[in-house]
Amino acid sequence: MARKPIVAGNWKMNNTNSEAVALTEAIKKSEFSFKGVEVVLCPPFTALKDVGALLAGSSIRLGAQNMHWEKSGAFTGEISAGMLRELFCHYVIIGHSERRQYFCETDETVNKKVLAAIAANLHPIVCVGETLEQRKANETKNVIEKQVRGAFKNVSKEAFMKVVIAYEPVWAIGTGVNATPEQAQEVHAFIRALIGSIYDEKTAQAVRIQYGGSVKPANAKAIFSQPDVDGGLIGGASLEADSFIAIISAAQ
Ligand code: PGA
């Protein structure tokens, strides 16, 4: 089954609203050349509204970087799925390793967020990945399996159709050390097989699995050309229009 590659820019805590608008305008100029790739921009919450307005009528989709699982209430500083939907978010990144590392997110909270996102008709981009210590200790597959099973607990097959998975080895994020294409392929194939055992083969063949971690124009093509890699989740290299656009063309 042909899966459409998806390239998402995770801007993290970068770009004020006006900077985000300028970067979006620069990326939009090349939109005509993005054929065959689904492109997603994930600005900080404060820029969602203006970036979303610029993307109205465009094929580029809007995504958020996080959300809370409750619909509303006394959760100071948090943002709900409904708030994101009203700003025309299509995607939401869930369980990024920085959220797990610095903000105490667990497989359990990731699961709550995944369920809440899907219930609100958002498409979660669910991040999984091992640390360097875990890889060295030969724990990669165990860690990934636990994260995947945890994230999709009680997620029906029908609901899972909305999901994108991002494999992001923690040791590759923002370090300049990317996984080799072979390392990425090995884990992506493992995740796809696991999805096959949780759901079924058809679902496994349909789900898109992005690679993330130090993707740059120079290494994107080799990584994206692996059979189970369906595009990328891009941090640093998505903050500059030229490099992000070059990565999108590598996904073609
Ligand atoms: P990076 O980040 O491309 O800067 O390594 C990727 C990510 O964290 O999504």
Of all atoms in ligand 1, which is nearest to the CA of residue 234?
3
Active site residue 68: no
C-alpha 234 – ligand 1 centre gap (Å): 5
Report pLDDT digits (tens) over 95-150: 999 999 999 999 999 999 999 999 999 999 999 999 999 999 999 999 999 999 99
Residue 1 has pLDDT above 90, yes or no: no
Q: Do the Cβ atoms of 209 and 228 come closer than 8 Å?
A: yes
Of all atoms in ligand 1, which is nearest to the CA of residue 10?
9
CA 55/CA 28 separation, integer angstroms: 8
C-alpha 73 – ligand 1 centre gap (Å): 32
Percent of the chain with pLDDT over 90: 99
CA 230/CA 188 separation, integer angstroms: 9
pLDDT of residue 2: 87
Which of 96, 98, 123, 188 is an active site residue?
96
Q: Closest Cα to atom 2, ligand 1: which residue? A: 235
Report pLDDT digits (tens) over 146-200: 999 999 999 999 999 999 999 999 999 999 999 999 999 999 999 999 999 999 9
Residue at 65: amino acid letter: Q
Q: Closest Cα to atom 3, ligand 1: which residue? A: 235
Report pLDDT digits (tens) over 53-90: 999 999 999 999 999 999 999 999 999 999 999 999 99
pLDDT of residue 77: 97
C-alpha 159 – ligand 1 centre gap (Å): 27
Active site residue 86: no
Which residues lie closer than 8 Å to 125 by C-beta, 6 or more apart? Answer: 8, 40, 63, 91, 92, 93, 94, 164, 165, 166, 210, 233
Q: How far apart are the first and last CA of the chain?
A: 16
pLDDT of residue 225: 98
pLDDT of residue 156: 98
CA 128/CA 144 separation, integer angstroms: 6
Q: How many CA atoms lie within 13 A of 101 on its CB side?
A: 12
Q: Closest Cα to atom 1, ligand 1: which residue? A: 235
Q: Look at strands 208-212 and 61-64 and give their pairing.
A: unpaired
Mutation probe of ligand 1 site: the residue of 7, 93, 177, 214 with most atoms within 8 A of C-beta: 214
C-alpha 130 – ligand 1 centre gap (Å): 14
Of all atoms in ligand 1, which is nearest to the CA of residue 98?
8
pLDDT-derived band at 244 (thresholds 50, 70, 90) equals very high
Secondary structure of the chain as H, E, C letters: CCCCCEEEEECCCCCCHHHHHHHHHHHHCCHHHCCCCEEEEECCHHHHHHHHHHHCCCCCEEEECCCECCCCCCCCCCCEHHHHHHCCCCEEEECCHHHHHHCCCCHHHHHHHHHHHHHCCCEEEEEECCCHHHHHCCCHHHHHHHHHHHHCCCCCHHHHCCCEEEECCHHHCCCCCCCCHHHHHHHHHHHHHHHHHHCCHHHHHHCEEEEECCCCHHHHHHHHCCCCCCEEEECHHHCCHHHHHHHHHHHC
Arithmetic mean of pLDDT, 29-36: 96
Of all atoms in ligand 1, which is nearest to the CA of residue 216?
3
Q: Do the Cβ atoms of 63 and 91 come closer than 8 Å?
A: yes
What residues does ligand 1 touch, defined as CB less than 6 Å away?
10, 168, 173-174, 212-215, 233-237
